[in-house]
Amino acid sequence: MSSAKSMMRKRKLKEFAGSLRRNKMAMTGTIILTIFILVAIFGPIVVPFSTLDFGDAEDMMQPPSSEHLLGTDDMGRDVLANLMSGARISLLCGFLATIISMVIGTIIGIASGYFGKAIDNVLMRFTDFFLVIPWLPLMMVLAAILGTSIWNIIFVIGITSWAGTARVVRAQTLSVKERQFVERTVSIGAGNIHIMIRHVLPNVFPLIFANTVLIAAVAITSETTLSFLGLGDTTRASWGMMLHYAFESGAASSGAWWYYLPPGLCVVLVVLSFALMGYAFDEIMNPKLKER
Amino acid sequence: MKLLEVKNLRTYFTISQGTVKAVDDVSFDLDHGEALGIVGESGCGKTTSALSIAKLLPKEGKIVGGEILLEGKDLAKLSDEEIQKHRWNDVSICFQGAMNALNPVMKIGEQIAEAIVLHHKSSEKDAMKKAAELLELVEIPGERINNYPHEFSGGMKQRVMIAMALACDPKIIIGDEPTTALDVMVQAQILNLLERLRTEFDMGFILITHDLSILAETCDKIAVMYAGRIVEKGSSEDIFQRTGHPYTKKLIKCFPDIKGNKRMMEGIPGAPPNMLEIPPGCPFHPRCEYAEEVCRRSMPDAIERDRGHFVACHRWEVMRSER
């Protein structure tokens, strides 16, 4: 029986992978992201330079060469090495901030939709506050107060980006809680927590998932922005930090394209891959959007 | 002692437009192994009467009077926490429309086991074993506990609902239109299954439906409801052969007779009354061909016409002489 079960599971995974493969957008997004993840994991091991290999005066701001594939920065460090360890920080930041945002958004959304009335009102006004407040100044203030460590950046992005998720989850919860199986579960004596976790959550999960992928893109952009503005973790090389130093050292005006272009392109590509995947997941999981 | 005695039950809904007397002065009883059918048009209070027994009313609804005696204990007086012990252990409900009453993203077995875990505090594993046994009981292979609702047909989903209702060995099962969305063949299978289980476990069974023909086969006793009241109740022979109320007579005429002569189907003229403004006197009088002055003025009491056969109609003697 268990083999039948695992076979079923395999079949479903295959179906999911199949519809992913048929969907060109999702395929492109997945490939780009996979490359970046692999680079983030193995890149710094493969590249022979560390981000702390400061060069001598003659090594500074050197254009790409066979030794330094992407040239060097204003402190004589290898740009490629920085770029790869930047991928680690940016992706880590994106994933963790997204998880925080997803958890907060889901809890507030489900609680708000499920309990309704006063709780809904209070939670939704709270959500509206986060939704309308200009997030960049808020992030900057929070980052400045909390100090510039990567964990603070993750935390700040996490707690400022959940409002959209909460709204969407609440809307779906409102619809799910009126379904008859919830009434049935109440009648057998299940508590609110039980119903929310066992019945409502699995039914809103596809939505959360699709939404989450899009938030990951926002999180990575936010990290880059904060770092570029000098509110990032100065001890770690992230893409935002690289752009920050490139800007400060006047790389753009001195024509050192190898310094500012790669991190910029990386940010764009990663954000694009998340966006592509997000829309594609939405399409796969929401049959109404499926092309026939 | 009777298994269940409902005496003068009144359940009212308070909404912004006024008070809806969804169930008004309803009495019936049920014994072990007995099946009671409650029949009537939409909105006549049949589901509300049944849900009142398990106190599963929406928050606007309230039991304002009467007694619900389950083996002598009055459920109407119990608080929400106290009633919880009786729900499912004593009274369980087989919900209308099985396709909606099952969570689409949860395994069937887990959904059946839920009630067992919540009521008997048994482990998940034991509950799943019991769930498999319950599935066998409703003639579905036990290994299908790991399937999801969409992998079952409509009739099988209804069987799953029955298995769920049986989860805690209840004394009474309330079937709220358990066969409404099913085709006739499957309907018959489900009804046979319910009948078998009822006799096997000596349970009381309350069947709520708008389909009189189902009741004729399955129920020992039938109560006909109109506008929140029971207008006629008795054995199924009383209802079908010695029909005492003009409304019942009309209901029966709504169904074709396979054996008899060909005749046009008859509807009941008019519509069920607005429950916020129930007509004075007998609520059925605007639609009744026998209505007279007295029907417009006073509400008829339920009179025991024969043994156990109650009719609430001023004109029941005319009805009888006509037959």
Evaluate whether A239 touches A88 at the Cβ level (below 8 Å). Answer: no
- Residues B8 and B23: their CA atoms lie apart, in Å, by 9
Say how many Å lie between the first and final Cα of chain A, rounded: 35
A217 pLDDT above the threshold of 90: no
A99 band by pLDDT with thresholds 50, 70 and 90: very high
Which residues 6+ apart lie within 8 Å of B127 measured at CB?
A: B112, B113, B114, B116, B117, B120
- Which residue of chain A is at minimal alpha-carbon distance from B168? A188
pLDDT of residue B169: 85
pLDDT of residue A88: 86
Evaluate whether B91 touches B70 at the Cβ level (below 8 Å). Answer: yes
Q: Is B163 on the interface with A (CB under 8 A)?
A: no
Query: Per the structure block, which two tokens stand in for A38?
Result: 């692999």
- The values of phi and psi at residue B279, to 5°, are -55, 145
- Which residue of chain A is at minimal alpha-carbon distance from B54? A187
Interface touch A190/B118, C-beta < 8 Å: yes
Evaluate whether A236 touches A56 at the Cβ level (below 8 Å). Answer: no
User: What is the CA A96 to chain-centroid distance, rounded?
Assistant: 7
CA dihedral A232, A236, A238, A241 (to 10 degrees): 50
Interface touch B105/A181, C-beta < 8 Å: no
Q: Is B150 on the interface with A (CB under 8 A)?
A: no
Write out chain B residues lying below 8 Å of A189, CB-based: 84, 87-88, 115, 118-119
- Residues B239 and B232: their CA atoms lie apart, in Å, by 8
Interface touch B103/A5, C-beta < 8 Å: no
Evaluate whether A34 touches A44 at the Cβ level (below 8 Å). Answer: no
pLDDT of residue A286: 62
Q: Percentage of residues in chain A with pLDDT exceeding 90?
A: 14
Which domains does chain A possess?
15-39+74-289 (1.10.3720.10)
B188 band by pLDDT with thresholds 50, 70 and 90: confident
pLDDT of residue B90: 87
Beta-sheet strands, E only, within chain B? 4-15, 18-30, 35-39, 61-70, 73-74, 91-94, 172-176, 204-209, 221-226, 229-235, 303-306, 309-311
Query: With a CB-CB cutoff of 8 Å, which residues 237-256 of chain B face chain A?
Result: none
Average pLDDT over residues B297-320: 83
pTM value is 0.75
Write out chain A residues lying below 8 Å of B95, CB-based: 180, 183-184
- Which residue of chain B is at minimal alpha-carbon distance from A189? B84
User: What is the CA A36 to chain-centroid distance, rounded?
Assistant: 13
More confident residue, A252 or B150: B150
Q: Residue A252: how many CB atoms within 10 A of its CB?
A: 14
Task: Give CB contacts under 8 A, 24+ apart, made by B183-190.
Answer: B186/B154, B186/B155, B186/B158, B187/B214, B189/B155, B190/B155, B190/B158, B190/B159, B190/B162
pLDDT of residue A124: 93
pLDDT of residue A125: 93
| Of B235, B206, B213, nearest in space to B222 by CA | B235
Interface touch B119/A188, C-beta < 8 Å: yes
Average pLDDT over residues B158-169: 87
Q: Is B133 on the interface with A (CB under 8 A)?
A: no
Interface touch B101/A203, C-beta < 8 Å: no
Q: Radius of gyration (Cα) for chain B, nearest Å?
A: 20
pLDDT of residue B77: 84
pLDDT of residue A146: 84
Say how many Å lie between the first and final Cα of chain B, rounded: 37
pLDDT of residue A118: 92
Average pLDDT, chain A: 81
Mutate to test the interface with B, among A1, A11, A187 (most CBs of B within 10 A): A187
Task: Give CB contacts under 8 A, 24+ apart, made by A194-198.
Answer: A194/B118, A195/A114, A196/A110, A196/A111, A196/A114, A198/B106, A198/B114
Average pLDDT over residues A202-208: 86
Average pLDDT, chain B: 85
For A17-66, the pLDDT digits (tens) are 776 667 778 788 888 989 989 888 887 777 766 666 666 666 666 777 76
Write out chain A residues lying below 8 Å of B106, CB-based: 198-199, 202
- Residues B46 and B227: their CA atoms lie apart, in Å, by 9
B39 pLDDT above the threshold of 70: yes
* Residues in chain A whose Cβ is within 8 Å of chain B: 1, 5, 179-181, 183-190, 194, 198-199, 202-203, 205
Write out chain B residues lying below 8 Å of A184, CB-based: 93, 95, 101, 164
- Residues B212 and B201: their CA atoms lie apart, in Å, by 25
For A56-75, the pLDDT digits (tens) are 666 666 777 767 677 777 67
For B121-131, the pLDDT digits (tens) are 778 888 888 88
For B92-133, the pLDDT digits (tens) are 888 877 677 888 888 888 888 888 888 877 788 888 888 888
pLDDT of residue A1: 45
Q: How many CB pairs under 8 A join A and B?
A: 56
CATH match of B4-82+171-269 with 3.40.50.300: yes
Write out chain A residues lying below 8 Å of B164, CB-based: 184
Q: Residue B98: how many CB atoms within 10 A of its CB?
A: 28
Interface touch B103/A183, C-beta < 8 Å: no
Interface touch A185/B114, C-beta < 8 Å: yes
Q: Indicate where chain B has its CATH 3.40.50.300 domain(s).
A: 4-82+171-269
